[in-house]
Amino acid sequence: MFLDSLYQALIAYAENRVKVAQEAAAQARSAATNTESVAETKWDTFGLENSYLAHGQSVRVAECEADLAYFRKFTFADSEEVTLGSVFEVEREDGWSKVVILSQCCGGGEFECQAKSVLLVTPQTPLGKSLLGKEEGDELVMKRRGEQLDAEIVRIFLEQD
């Protein structure tokens, strides 16, 4: 079933985000505590900048871990109307096509599942807001670099599919 594979790919995507963030945080901590980061003059801010970066990367790790925890409890919506948790396919008039997951986090994130490109969209974005309540076959307007393009929800994935 596509939704089972999609869930596994979603978890793998979220786990990879955590791993990448942890690696970046470790590198930033290493740079901040390196002996070469010690200030030699009062104008030398390299160490201070590295400590700010290390802090920011640690915050990013916490955000990615929270996203992973969210997705581990995540269930796909089983509704013929787009709502939080819905999985659906959108095609634009220019040939762009994606499977979309409407979720509370990771907006803009993309990954692949069964040779399909998957996009995460949050309901707080203009696109997410415009998708809420839509049904299979409904049309919508999407923007690409300021240009408005017509699009259609060609399929909503349901549990029984």
pLDDT tens digits, 5-57: 999 999 999 999 999 999 999 988 887 776 665 556 665 565 667 788 888 99
Neighbours of 150 (CB within 10 A): 12
User: What is the tally of structural domains in the chain?
Assistant: 2
pLDDT digit string, tens, across residues 89-141: 999 999 999 999 999 999 999 999 999 999 999 999 999 999 999 999 999 99
Q: What is the CATH number of the domain that holds 114?
A: 3.10.50.30
Residue 24: count other Cβ atoms within 10 Å of its Cβ: 17
Among 72, 96, 121, where does a domain finish? Answer: 72
State which residues form the domain around 18. Answer: 2-72
* Cα–Cα distance for residue pair 42/46, rounded to 1 Å: 11
- Which residues face 141 on adjacent strands? 150
**Domain membership flag for residue 82:** no
Residue 13 lies in a domain: yes
Instruction: Please tell me the pTM assigned to this model.
Output: 0.87
93 CB-contact burial (10 Å; exposed 0-12 / middle 13-18 / buried 19+) = exposed
